[in-house]
Structure 1
Amino acid sequence: MKRRELGVETLYHVFNRSIAEYTIFTCEEEYIRMENVVRYYKNKRNLKFSRFLKLDDAQKTNNFVGEKLVEIIAYCIMPTHIHFVLQQMNEGNISIFMNNIFNSYTHYFNLRHKRKGPLWESRFKHVLINNDEYLIHLTRYIHLNPVTAGLVEKPELWEFSSYKEYIDQRHYGGHNICDFKKFLDINSSSYKEFVEAGIDIQKEIAKIKHLIME
């Protein structure tokens, strides 16, 4: 059965996990590599990221600008999985983006760890975001993933998500990963309060899910 194409200029929660929940981000360097891969491939590229890294600074500047494939509204990289909120510019762009980042990171990880074979489940999953309330609560859920998993006490202590971009604690100059302000009418302080208000609720939901699965 042919898969339906995702809509253009529509928002989706896009996510995938590693095969058998294998830990595929084992240190800070690997998380940063994935963030750089994501930032690079959100635009259309003629060069693979591994080749781009070998260019001099002038060549990198000339090759960094490209036609945008997706808008990234939010993301979180976890030890065994990854979450995005995405909007694609043209039909098929989300698939291109996800395939590019998965292939690039798999190649890097396999070389680094002297292994072979796939890292990710066969295909990413996606859920349509059909209203603003769902969107704002979804970003909170995504940004609280590391807290719910017990990796950190506060979401701002997890460096590998878009949360710090939302609360104005981190900037990437002209190369930000996310562009959320055109989709969410929020300010940093009120969003921080909104997210912190959900910490206990999300932890309780996680406990209930765990009990159900036992």
Structure 2
Amino acid sequence: MQYRKEPLENGQIYHIFNKSIAGFKIFNCEADYFRIIETIKYYQRYPVPVRYSELKRLSLPIQQQILINLFNQKKIVEVVAYCLMPTHLHLILKQLAENGIRILMSNVENSYARYFNTKYKRKGPLWVGRFKSVFVQNESQLYHLSRYVHLNPISANLTNKPEEWFYSSYNEYLNNIDNNLRICDYKDIISIKPKTYREFVESRASYQRQISKIKKLMFD
């Protein structure tokens, strides 16, 4: 896989990936996973009136008013799909504004690092470095990439079914999630019925599981 170093272009879709330093576990519980999901949703728009950590310290009515005003702004990035893993994350993003992906990732990674270090009384960087990006060249690549992303928990033997991993966008694609919990807007990009998409993803699940087992045997 070849990573891009040149500027990311508006209107284009990219696979974004980053991981923790030295394989450090950065999501230890459900609250950690949902914290970064909320953070991604918040920083899809720019500029924001306050940091997300500051927002969480405000009274609920003030939080709600800030979010109402913020969500009326245009997005700088569209989240097409995502999957959070214990030591890393995958995002499929469409850039809508100049430097949108860079701004989003900087805000999300810094915000989550502050949250994590405060919660777990830790110091120092959390991420291995700058995020990596791969340009998605066509629709076929996008479909297969989304399947790869959603099958990550299967490959890592974290679950038997992708819909049982609640820290990815797979259940959004299956319409198994409340609207207020959604962070993706993919229907103008990936046009596929939930049943068809499930079949497309699950047709590969067994293969992914077998490949994972073979790799484990090779390196044990």
Which interval holds the TM-score relative to the shorter structure? over 0.9
Q: 2:66 aligns with which of 63, 66, 74?
A: 63
Counterpart residue identity of residue 117, structure 2? N
**CA distance in structure 1 between the aligned counterparts of 2:103 and 2:205, rounded to whole angstroms:** 34
**CA distance in structure 2 between the aligned counterparts of 1:209 and 1:135, rounded to whole angstroms:** 25
- How big is the shift at 1:208? 4.8
Q: 2:130 aligns with which of 119, 123, 136?
A: 123
- In structure 2, the residue matched to 1:176 is 182
Q: 1:38 aligns with which of 37, 40, 43?
A: 40
Residue pair 1:13, 1:127 contacting (<8 A) in 2 also: yes
**CA distance in structure 1 between the aligned counterparts of 2:187 and 2:215, rounded to whole angstroms:** 32
Given the two structures, how large is their TM-score scaled by the length of structure 1? Answer: 0.93
- In structure 2, the residue matched to 1:18 is 20
CA gap of 1:79–1:69, structure 2 versus 1, over 3 A, is: same
Give 3-state SS (helix, strand or coil) of 1:165's partner: helix
- How big is the shift at 1:42? 1.1
**CA distance in structure 2 between the aligned counterparts of 1:5 and 1:43, rounded to whole angstroms:** 19
- In structure 1, the residue matched to 2:11 is 9
**CA distance in structure 1 between the aligned counterparts of 2:98 and 2:45, rounded to whole angstroms:** 14
- How big is the shift at 1:210? 4.8
Structure 1 alignment gaps of length 5 or more = none
What are the within-5 Å matches in structure 2 for residues 27-176 of structure 1? Answer: 27-44=29-46, 45-64=48-67, 65=70, 66-173=73-180, 176=182
**CA distance in structure 1 between the aligned counterparts of 2:208 and 2:54, rounded to whole angstroms:** 41
**CA distance in structure 2 between the aligned counterparts of 1:156 and 1:110, rounded to whole angstroms:** 30
Aligned sequence identity (%): 43
Q: Deviations over 1:48-94 (max 9, x none)?
A: 00111123344323322233110000000100000000011122110
Structure 2 alignment gaps of length 5 or more = none
- How big is the shift at 1:46? 2.4
- How big is the shift at 1:203? 2.3
Residue pair 1:24, 1:80 contacting (<8 A) in 2 also: yes
